[in-house]
Amino acid sequence: MKGFTIKTEIEEYDTFEQYAAQADLGPQDLVLCGEHTYDKYVAPLSLSVQTLFREKYGKGEPTDGMVDAILDALRKKEFNRIIAIGGGTVVDIAKVVAVAGKEDKVDDLYDNVDKLKKVHPLVIIPTTCGTGSEVTNISVINRVSKGVKMGLASNAMLADKAVMITNMLDSLPYKIFSTSSIDAMVHSVESFLSPNGCSISRIFSTEALKTIIQCWKKSVEAGGGDAWKTCAADFLKASNWAGLGFGYAGCAAVHACAYPLGSVYHIPHGQSNQLMFKDVMEKYKQIQPTGRINDLEDIIAECLGVTQSEALTALYELMDKVLKKEPLRNFGVKESDLPVFAGDVIKTQQRLLKNNYIQLSEEQVLEIYKAAY
């Protein structure tokens, strides 16, 4: 078994201004973020940093074309640290930029993943409470040219520092909060169930899951909407802990089945996970009802004040109050897509499927899609 290590230094601040003063940001730093984030948090401090605004190169989650355009734009720039401030898209892009040489394109990095080396020091400041990827070695790119959404994983892409700043969540819209916190919850569950976890990784997965469920419950009971912001610091920490859990143990079938939904229909990543979560878990329970999944049910039951047998159903009901689950057909997914998706998952997502609670055949993956449809 590999040893559990945390290679990224984790810092915590209340405000971006506190971090900027400590970090001595200056002309050799490249701030990679969205323009709105820059205007709200960075510009008022009059820092002499270089900038790259990701929306100038495309919208939505990162594609190979978007990232190649960014790499082209940076070829003549000279900079040292990358300061990535954003959600999953910004973080995934920044990890690629951190390991890309002057002539590299996205395909070169996938083709030479075992040889990747860090070119620029990387600092990641998350502005959502979901990805946890500030402490993982994975970047997920939609390789449109190849028709598949794939993870690029290398320890060279681990951030040197992950900086948790509570006020970065101040302007987070409810929809992004809901989808990102669901993503973090799925990270915690999949890494807890993963056969590739260990006792230490499960501590992070467990605490992340407990915190998210308890904060969801508190927010819903307070009337929903922006009530979640009273728990913003806890959601941010839980996302980070879930990242540490899945950074070691991996994600599994929920993420694997969600990827085609994002790649083909551009459904936000966290929502794609929500659409698949219940049906993957029910398939797990159908095939192997006893095992670590019962330990998971015990954790959920304790948080929600229900019995073990009621736990998963109670979690689904709470999730629906955070963001209502809808059938795949409501997003334009065609029934004819389902066998194609199932085949693609088996063919292209073995990196994730090896972390399943139990292994799934292509037929069983198709049954999951049909149940979600």
Q: What was the pLDDT predicted at 110? A: 95
Collapsing DSSP states into helix, strand and coil, what is residue 99? helix
User: For 304-352, what is each residue's pLDDT tens digit?
Assistant: 999 999 999 999 999 999 999 999 999 999 999 999 999 999 999 999 9
Strands 138-143 and 50-53: unpaired
Q: What was the pLDDT predicted at 3? A: 86
Inter-residue contact 315 to 329 (CB < 8 Å)? no
User: For 153-184, what is each residue's pLDDT tens digit?
Assistant: 999 999 999 999 999 999 899 999 999 999 99
Q: If phi over 0 gives left and psi between -120 and 50 gives alpha, with beta otherwise, what is residue 225?
A: left
- Report CA dihedral (154, 4, 303, 172) to the nearest 10 degrees: -30
Mean pLDDT of the 110-126 span: 96
Does 172-372 carry CATH code 1.10.300.10? no
- The tokens describing 132, both together, are 């946890």
Mean pLDDT of the 231-250 span: 96
Per-position b or e across 271-299, b if 16+ CB within 10 A of its CB: bbbbbbbbbbbbbbeeeeeeebbeebbeb
User: For 124-157, what is each residue's pLDDT tens digit?
Assistant: 999 999 989 999 999 989 888 887 778 899 999 9
Side-chain half-sphere CA neighbours of 28 within 13 A? 7
> What class has domain 9-168?
alpha beta
Q: What was the pLDDT predicted at 147? A: 78
User: For 86-106, what is each residue's pLDDT tens digit?
Assistant: 998 999 999 999 999 999 999
User: For 169-226, what is each residue's pLDDT tens digit?
Assistant: 998 999 999 999 999 999 999 999 999 999 999 999 999 999 999 999 999 999 999 9
The answer for residues whose C-beta is within 8 angstroms of residue 141's C-beta and 6 or more apart is 62, 63, 64, 67, 92, 96, 106, 149, 150, 152
Bigger pLDDT: 148 vs 4: 4
Q: What was the pLDDT predicted at 186? A: 98
243 pLDDT band (50/70/90 cuts)?
very high
40 pLDDT band (50/70/90 cuts)?
very high
The greatest distance separating any two alpha carbons of the chain, rounded to the nearest whole angstrom, comes to: 60
Mean pLDDT of the 28-54 span: 96
Mean pLDDT of the chain: 95
Q: Tell me, yes or no, if the pTM score tops 0.85.
A: yes
Domain boundaries, the chain: 9-168, 172-372
For 173, phi then psi, to 5°, come to: -65, 155
1 pLDDT band (50/70/90 cuts)?
low
What is the number of other CB atoms lying within 10 angstroms of the CB of residue 243? 27
Q: DSSP code of 147?
A: T
The angle subtended at Cα 17 by Cα 27 and Cα 155, nearest 5°, is 65
